[in-house]
Structure 1
Amino acid sequence: MSGLLLFVATVGPMVLITGGFGLAVTRAQRRGLGPTVIGPFQDMWDPSAARTQVEIEIRAEQKAPTPSPGDPPSDEGPRVVPSK
């Protein structure tokens, strides 16, 4: 019986903490809180996804290039061409 109690006392907190992080991530994604809540944990456990998220944020904040003086007028405004 003491072996079972020792096992539960050792493994239980790890399972609860991991499950709590999973629940927090799921709720944050549903509510649209994304990088605010998930950012630090994403940096620790999935660095490539964190770098991708930073790249997405940088590209979203970039301004569209202004047209050159010789470009024909466009009714749609400046067009952004994704870089490869």
Structure 2
Amino acid sequence: MRPAPALECFACRRVLGRRAGHFLTDGARVLCSRCIWRGDLHLALWPDCDRRDHLPVDHTESQGTRAGTAAALGLWP
């Protein structure tokens, strides 16, 4: 079986390591563990959200490994 593909953070475009945290948000965006806690990113990604005190982590659908996230996105295996 081929290895799971490397995924990129939607916000900072950093390629996430094999064991790094992968956060899947609504809208099928993958965010890294640094960006998931950025308060300034919430307004940029969810301009219609009525909760201004939210963080991107409040829109997380799941979190996991590279393989689990790639499988959830339908990219692997």
Does TM-score exceed 0.5, indicating one fold? no
Where on the TM-score scale, by shorter chain, does this alignment land: which range?
Answer: under 0.3
Which has the larger helix fraction?
Answer: 1
Larger C-alpha radius of gyration, 1 or 2? 1
TM-score, normalising length: structure 1? 0.23
Higher strand share: 2
